Chains A and B, each alone.
Chain A
């Protein structure tokens, strides 16, 4: 009865966990898939995965590559967590088979899932924990079947094997076997000091011989956290809970004995609900920070621009989110038409300040795509390259970008190198092989709608440096080279509008109105021209501003004059009719931004934007 109930519980846990994870970490799974490349190459596998914790990393990467598929991340993670909980629970059967322990056994993996909200906590942390529960289960299975000395030897060997396979988690294994023994057979428990000693010695040797850089990588859950960063103490929690669990077993046993089966089931279910509520609470607490960016990145990587625009994260005003949003608008050809439907907050909404953030891998993927859309191929390549190099195991979409940019530049040996690497992956090999047709085929590249168009935007053997004189200068260079570079044109106009750069708005109109690049003046630019030249309407007309725009502007002016005379707040008044115009941005949003900047100067600690 107890066992059957346990399996029903486990199934329930699995289903709820998968649904929960799919809801709260869906885009994190996609993001994780983009943070590594699993290459089917024996020499790479031998090089990467034979060291300490290498097999766990291998398992982790094998699994994570499938996170590209919808639901796969949640199913695999939910499955690992449920299986870990079940194995942990069964490992305690020598003490008790109480159903009450099962909801508690899921708690450590809930904390590990909580830790996975931080993309810097490697998925291998969960895989290592799963291997730990598997080894613990094996150990506890043969424990009563072996003599004392054989048991000690076998547990020590298992601990050392686990140390090689999964690293630091072997210490948790050694400690847990001791704790279980303390509860189950206290008199013999001293024998299980040996596995702890063995893991401690081997761990220390690994550090002293530089196989591991630090004791953190030998003994703590922090071993699975990004080595460049320091994990918080939070990451100790799942392991402490696991080690404490056997101590609760006698209590669970006692309570189970006292309760009738029905009440036991009800209490177990109640405990499970409590654990579930905690999981939901912690997900809400942790899912706020980077998640919107990660979600948007998924749409960028899959080029699902409408999906990005439909996502619930487009109204934030955060520069990094706005960069992504504007990229989607540009791809959909709506950058100018729908520009002010969203909370643009200055030129950084187009392209975030590069000096501060250009070296963060969370933004370099997006920057690479933005530069590519702007036809700034050199910068797109630089950012993609930085991402590939900044992430320890590469990034498939960024390596694709390296293939694309090198093909555009005609750097075929290099493009071929990246193609060869992508051909060693499961999900990108077909795309990579397809790219081979472009290698050394100038005619095909030049006639390709994507590559050919980008090539036309490359100024021939140009002595100019990209990003050295700002985004607008680079865009100007592109559109002067290629009059068909409409995305770059719209970005340039968007940049001028957000910067309220009147001199350049006029010079832009002077140079490009009536040319192939801009046969007609886009509506948003018309609004800017008339606002900048309201006393010279003939000039406005000569730069493509329509009579209707002039009329609308005059109406707006009158509304503003009336409002000021009546001491009315103009923001609310203008929003319904003019909220999506440049004029609203100029009269309402810009002064607010200026005020914010002023405040931030007075209070250096205050943050300008939401990020």
Chain B
């Protein structure tokens, strides 16, 4: 008797959890889901693209994912579909360079009704396994906890690289890796224990080079693709609040210069063109071959912030010799801002084929400009165009290239206009971007609703950073 009862209970539980459904009727409507993952291209190694059917509280829901001969069904909890990770990766592996079809169903009057299906295309290009970012409040002065974290993009695991609770809750910022290599990282600490922290193959150092008098505090780093140089800008940053404007704040510099830190010789290299007292120079970054330094520059405008609309940054280049650590004599203007635009944050793809940059109306801080969009330059032809499929009505900024030059990660405020989230877009061989998608989460609605931090400076890395927080903290204390 007991055995029969046991079998009956187990059978009921098993069938309750796993019963596959069959669709009784089609709905003439699209599923309203969050995040919007419809008709996107995804990497062949991405974590499950879980999503939620909106307004489905208390309703029985199912998700059917089909690709080739594989098919999985996922039961929804209030419309939240938690796709099993093993089955998902199996599905991806079987459907490289093919489409997955997603059918969202809901139970209506005891019958399963299906919304119009949508697809995700599985690209054969993989994405770098990890994304490193700083989690900070998108704030205006006060902070409490912040840290640099790494998220495995093949799963949902997030681990801290360094949190400020290890260093008395000071401000920490701008991290950079050499060519997406997790073994070579640099970031800054402010306030107590301030300085630049360099991690190289498990060794941690605190950089303490002698800076020229004009350089006060360095930020926005970019590592040379193969040599021991890190480009920085030295910024005296300020911010002001608009009384009532579509943009909340304007961030500006009272002074900025670009410099290169020669790690091997513990010295700072600069050039008159990069540290002019008449111009701002910022966002330096090396080209893929390491022989050119890109940077944004604009004539200094005063008074700030009142004249912020007159600030227009152009993107310039200057030659750099990694052998000798010297700059060339000639500065070329790649994008001339004129008096109506501003170009910032130039980043060349690792294969040197594309250059992606920010285009906005004015200023140098794209993250606060709603009109800021990502643009792409074909480095062979010089042709430029917006990444229309990836851009939104809100700002896009802080882009990062995957090591294979086929995935672009970037920050966007498109969900709510304030909290910055990481998005990805595929760049094909012709430089065409696909519709961007937000970094997948296991329960995306709850996750992004509860998130009160911004994902600041997302940077792809090919593997996890392994040096421990404690090792870093011991070095900087």
Contact = CB atoms under 8 A, between A and B. Distances in A.
B244 A382 contact: no
Contact of A379 (B143, B241, B417, B447): B241
Interface stretch (A16-24, A111-119, A327-335, A408-416): A408-416
Interface in B462-477: 468-470, 473
Nearest to A228: B169
A458 interface: yes
Given A417-B416, A420-B449, A462-B242, A213 B142 contact: no
Given A43-B443, A413-B415, A414-B418, A465 B142 contact: no
B201 to A, nearest CB: 20
A356 interface: no
A411 B417 contact: yes
Interface in A189-244: 207-210, 213, 227-228
A41 B446 contact: yes
Contacts of A417: 416, 419, 449
Interface residues of B, number: 41
A471 B142 CA distance: 21
B240 A390 contact: no
Contacts of B446: 41, 43
16 contacts: A43-B446, A43-B447, A207-B470, A213-B165, A376-B243, A379-B241, A411-B417, A413-B415, A414-B417, A417-B419, A461-B245, A462-B243, A465-B241, A465-B243, A466-B243, A468-B305
A389 B144 contact: yes
Interface string B411-432: 0000111110000000000000
A465 B137 contact: no
A210 B243 contact: no
Interface in A348-396: 358-359, 361, 364, 376-379, 382, 385-392, 394
Contacts of A392: 144-145
Given A391-B144, A420-B449, 15 more contacts: A41-B446, A209-B468, A210-B470, A376-B243, A382-B141, A382-B241, A385-B139, A386-B139, A389-B139, A389-B143, A390-B143, A392-B144, A414-B418, A421-B449, A458-B243
B248 interface: yes
B452 interface: yes
A70 B419 CA distance: 36
A465 B240 CA distance: 6
Contacts of A213: 165-166, 473
A382 B140 contact: yes
Given A213-B165, A361-B142, A411-B417, A467 B241 contact: yes
A470 interface: no
B82 to A, nearest CB: 12
A608 interface: no
Contacts of B469: 210
B30 interface: no
Contacts of A466: 240-243
Contacts of B142: 359, 361, 364, 386-387, 389-390
B459 interface: no
Contact of B306 (A361, A411, A414, A465): A465
Nearest to B468: A210
A465 B140 contact: no
Contacts of A376: 243
Nearest to A360: B142
Contact of B242 (A416, A421, A460, A464): A464
A570 interface: no
Contacts of B89: none
Contacts, number: 118
B249 to A, nearest CB: 8
A378 B144 CA distance: 22
A460 B245 CA distance: 8
Contacts of A364: 142
Nearest to A208: B470
Contacts of A390: 142-144
B277 to A, nearest CB: 24
Residue among B243, B250, B419 facing the most chain A CB atoms (10 A cut-off): B243
B470 A462 contact: no
B194 interface: no
A414 B394 CA distance: 13
A227 B168 CA distance: 7
B417 A413 contact: yes
Interface in B243-300: 243-246, 248, 250
Nearest to A379: B241
A390 B144 CA distance: 5
Contacts of B168: 227-228
Nearest to A41: B450
A514 interface: no
A468 B417 CA distance: 24
A414 B417 CA distance: 7
Contacts of A467: 240-241
A127 B166 CA distance: 25
Nearest to B474: A208
B244 A462 contact: yes
Residue among A227, A385, A466 facing the most chain B CB atoms (10 A cut-off): A385
A464 B243 contact: yes
B415 A385 contact: no
B193 interface: no
Contacts of A387: 142
Interface string B212-254: 0000000000000000000000000000111111101010000
A44 interface: yes
A33 interface: no
Contact of A43 (B137, B416, B450): B450
A97 B453 CA distance: 54
Nearest to B145: A392
A474 interface: yes
A459 interface: yes
B309 A468 contact: no
B160 interface: yes
B165 A227 contact: yes
Interface string B2-46: 000000000000000000000000000000000000000000000
A477 interface: yes
A382 B241 CA distance: 8
A417 B418 CA distance: 11
Interface in A98-138: none
A463 interface: yes
B475 to A, nearest CB: 13
A391 B250 CA distance: 25
Contacts of A377: 244
A173 to B, nearest CB: 25
A409 B473 CA distance: 42
Interface string B295-320: 00000000001100100000000000
A43 B415 CA distance: 21
B449 A458 contact: no
Contact of A463 (B143, B242, B450): B242
B57 to A, nearest CB: 13
Nearest to B309: A463
A444 B264 CA distance: 64
Nearest to A230: B168
Contacts of A385: 137, 139-140
Contacts of A382: 140-141, 241
A156 B276 CA distance: 66
A209 B241 CA distance: 41
A392 to B, nearest CB: 5
A460 B235 CA distance: 32
Given A210-B160, A389-B452, A463-B242, A413 B416 contact: yes
Which 7 A/B pairs are nearest by Cβ-Cβ distance? A390-B142, A210-B469, A389-B137, A386-B142, A413-B416, A465-B240, A458-B244
Contacts of B141: 358-359, 382, 386
Contact of B305 (A44, A210, A465): A465
A536 B115 CA distance: 80
A378 B248 contact: yes
A461 B305 contact: no
A44 B443 CA distance: 12
